[in-house]
Structure 1
Amino acid sequence: MARVSGLSGNEIYCLALKGYTAGELVVGNSVNSMGFLGSLGAGLNNILGGEIPQVTQAIQDGRMHAFSRMAKEAQGHGASGVAGVSGDLRGLSGNTEFLFVGSCVSSKSGGGNFFTSAGDAQELYCHMDAGYTPIHHVFGNIAYSMGIGGGIMGALKQLARGEISDYSDVFNKTRHKALERISAAARADGANAVLGIRTTVLPWMGTHEMLMTGTAMHHPGLPAGDVVTSDMTGEELWSMASLGYAPVKLLMSTSIYSLGVVGGIFSALKSLARGEISELTTLVHDAREHCIDRLKREADSLGAEEVVGVKTYIVEIGQGL
């Protein structure tokens, strides 16, 4: 019977160069409910703001169940690993379905440890060609809310122009906590690197979940110590490795700025006429410069030579923010 794979022709070709053949598409899912007590506890934490452990754990458990089922199905097919693993979270009759999909791959030579990898098979090829050995698809998450207290303080600070540190702290702490957790998951698998990290923010039951996914890998040439983290694509990593560079750490920085009441009034008045709105120009410029300065200082503390692949996002999250 014909095999059904989620891998493209290019991916199959890249895998063949590394001695692997494509196999069956595999799926794992788990439908979960928070339950009454969990929802009550989450509601109380939501008032206080910050991480909501009940929600974080519920999502973590759901994902692990779905992922384990996908991996078990692949092992049942006799696969050497699963490539192109992707996850999803969706509502289903008031509950939540956690879903993982991937494609089996088999080694032509046989042997080796079973592995799972995030990203597509072309990215996997680049990682392997750069000397990395895939171990497991890993993820780190944190569910959080601003909370009533943080919302009130943030609202008061919106009266004046400048950074709203209460909001910035929530975003920065949650992102770094998710990074710590994905690094810990990789370390537990015996990896010394997490590559191809992708970051998403998902709404879930009135909260927000920060999710990071990537592939835990091992490279014999990396120095002992902290787990290396990188969001570079496989092609970018391969190119940098050919130039003699190795990743150190994924850096992130967020600054939430407000125009303030006076700035908002001036901006509104100027928008009635043609021309530059200097209040908005300087606000966006200051926020961007603040973020870049944080990245530089953290890179210097790590002893890094370069900060590459910087991506800048400017999003309006509220009135004047």
Structure 2
Amino acid sequence: MAQVTGLSGNEIFCLAMKGFAPGELVVGNSVNSMGFLGSLGAGVSNILGGEVPQVTEAIHAGREAALERMTREAAERGAAGVAGVAGELRAFSGNTEFLFIGSCVHRQGAPKNLFTSAGDAQELYCAIDAGYEPVQHVFGNVAYSMGVGGGLLGSLKTLARGEIREFSDVFNLTRHAALDRAVALAKKDGANAVVGIRTIIERWAGTHEMLMSGTAAINRALPPQTFQSPVTSDLTGSELWAMTKLGYAPVKLLMSTSIYSLGFAGGFLAAFKSFVKGEINELTTMIHDAREIALARIKDEADGLGAQDVVGVKTYIAEIANGLVEFLAVGTAIRRTPGVAVATETLPAQAIIADKDTWIDGDFGFSLDRKP
């Protein structure tokens, strides 16, 4: 009988090289509501700012239930694992559906422990070839709010130019809390690494939720202490393979946020200058300073870890409100590690070719009012 799989041709090719055959799509979902008490508790927490535990717990429970149901369905189909696991959050009539979907993969012989892998099967191939055997899709989340108190304090501080540490601290705390929770799940599963970490921020129940998900894996070439403190990485599969080929292993995913204010006087001056063609020195300096602060924090943390480099650094900048600018820097600290190695000399083209989306535009892939 024909099988319906979410794996692309390139993914099927890569998995076949590791002894896996494609299987059916599997889905797990959970439709949840915060309820009156949960919403009331969240509202009180919002006044204080920071994490809103009621919302964090509600979202985590919904995601956990959906992931468990998807995994159970795969086990019933006799799968060795689930590749390309992706999670979504959808709103329906005031309720929220938590959804996990992936594709079963099969292997000859009875499966020992069914694994679930975040990211696509091309990344899975790269990770396995670099020595990272998948264990479980893991995620960490935190719902947070700046709070009325933080907002008032921040508004006062925007009168002066410089970093608003209260805002920076909230953003940095939430990002690291999400990562720490994903690592805790990996450690519970007996893994010593979380690779392929991806981050997304969504709005839910009047808060922001930060979600970090990746694949808990075991690489026995890593130092024994990593089973107590798993390494983390947001490198893509091919990047992880390349670093392993050069003898490096990830140490930790590093993140730093700087929330900066131009200040009332600077804002007025910048607005006045915007009527005149040319560089606005105040804005140039502000963005430069915010960037330097965030990058300096990453470097300091890397030095404290004994890392040799921070690679794959990505920077993001956005104006959030009232002349406040957020600058975020993210990268993976790496260190030369004896014993790490790849299984094959080169990656196949199928492991690095980006699959093109053949579903065109519009809400459902096409546009009814599209003119020829």
- Alignment TM class, shorter chain as reference: over 0.9
Following TM superposition, by how much is the alpha carbon of 1:110 offset from its aligned partner in structure 2, in angstroms?
A: 4.0
* TM-aligned CA deviation for residue 93 of structure 1: 1.2
CA distance in 2, matches of 1:250, 1:162: 27
SS at match of 1:253: strand
**Unpaired segments ≥5 residues, structure 2:** 325-372
Q: Which residue of 1 aligns with 2:246?
A: 243
2:276 aligned to which of 273, 277, 287: 273
Aligned 1:19-168 pairs, distance under 5 A = 19-168=19-168
What TM-score, normalized by structure 2, do the two folds share? 0.85
One of 263, 266, 271 as aligned partner of 2:266: 263
Letter paired with 2:244 = A
Q: How many matched pairs?
A: 321
Q: Counterpart of 1:276 in structure 2: which amino acid?
A: E
Q: Does 1:211 align with 2:231?
A: no
Tell me which residue corresponds to 2:349. Answer: none
> Secondary structure at 1:159's aligned position in 2?
coil
DSSP 3-state at the match of 2:46: helix
SS at match of 1:288: helix
Other structure's SS at 1:274 match: coil
Aligned to 2:60, the other structure's residue is in SS state helix
Query: 1:177 — aligned with what?
Result: 177
C-alpha separation in 2, matches of 1:175 and 1:56: 13
Alignment root-mean-square deviation, CA = 0.8
Query: Which shifted more, 104-113 or 94-103?
Result: 104-113
Contact (CA 8 Å) 2:164, 2:259: kept in 1 or not?
Answer: yes
Distance apart, 1:109 and its partner CA: 4.3
Kept after mapping to 2: 8 A contact 1:83/1:103: yes
Q: In 2, distance between residues paired with 1:33 and 1:298?
A: 39
How many percent of aligned residue pairs carry the same amino acid?
Answer: 68
Task: Measure how far apart 1:90 and its partner are.
Answer: 1.1
Please list every run of 5 or more consecutive structure 1 residues that lacks an aligned counterpart in the other structure: none
User: d(CA) in 2 for partners of 1:154 and 1:61?
Assistant: 33
How far residue 132 of structure 1 moved from its aligned partner, in angstroms, is: 1.0
On the 8 A contact 2:78/2:111 being kept in 1, the answer is: no
Where is the strand percentage greater, Structure 1 or Structure 2?
A: 2
Instruction: Provide the residue aligned with 1:195 in structure 2.
Output: 195
Tell me the distance in 1 between the aligned counterparts of 2:181 and 2:313. Answer: 22
Task: State the Cα distance separating 1:319 from its structure 2 match.
Answer: 2.6
Q: How much has 1:89 moved relative to structure 2?
A: 0.5
Aligned amino acid, residue 268 of structure 1: A
- What is the CA-CA distance between 1:223 and the residue it aligns to? 1.2
Task: Determine if contact 1:19/1:109 at 8 Å carries over to the other structure.
Answer: no
Secondary structure of 2:301's partner? helix
The equivalent of 1:298 in structure 2 is 301
User: 1:55-113 CA distances to partner (integer Å, 9 max, x unpaired)?
Assistant: 11100100011111111111111111100000001111111100000000001344332
Give the whole-Å Cα distance in 1 for the aligned partners of 2:111 and 2:55: 39
Cα deviations across residues 116-151 of structure 1 (Å, max 9, x unaligned)?
000000100000001111000000001110111111
Q: 1:286 maps to what in 2? A: 289
Of 303, 306, 314, the match for 2:317: 314
Distance 2:94 2:275 in 1: 46
Partners of 1:197 and 1:132 in 2: how far apart?
A: 14
Describe the superposition over 1:288-316 as per-residue Cα deviations: whole angstroms up to 9, x where unpaired. 01111000000000000000000010111
Q: Secondary structure at the match of 2:249?
A: coil
Distance 1:268 1:40 in 2: 41
Taking the aligned partners of 1:131 and 1:201, their CA distance within structure 2 comes to: 30
User: CA–CA distance in 2 between the matches of 1:156 and 1:83?
Assistant: 49
Structure 1 residue 221, shift from structure 2 partner: 1.1
Q: Which amino acid aligns with 1:317?
A: I
Structure 1 distance, partners of 2:282, 2:9, is 51
Partner of 2:10: 10
2:29–2:100 Cα contact (<8 Å) kept: yes
Aligned to 1:234: 237
Q: What TM-score, normalized to structure 1?
A: 0.99
Query: What amino acid is aligned across from residue 253 of structure 2 in structure 1?
Result: L
| Code of the aligned partner of 1:310 | V
| Distance (whole Å) between structure 2 residues aligned to residue 257 and residue 132 of structure 1 | 39
Partner-residue secondary structure (3-state), 1:249: strand
Report the Cα distance in structure 2 between the residues aligned to 1:162 and 1:102, rounded to whole angstroms: 46
- Larger fraction in helix: 1
Q: Secondary structure at the match of 2:251?
A: coil
Letter in 2 for 1:99: L
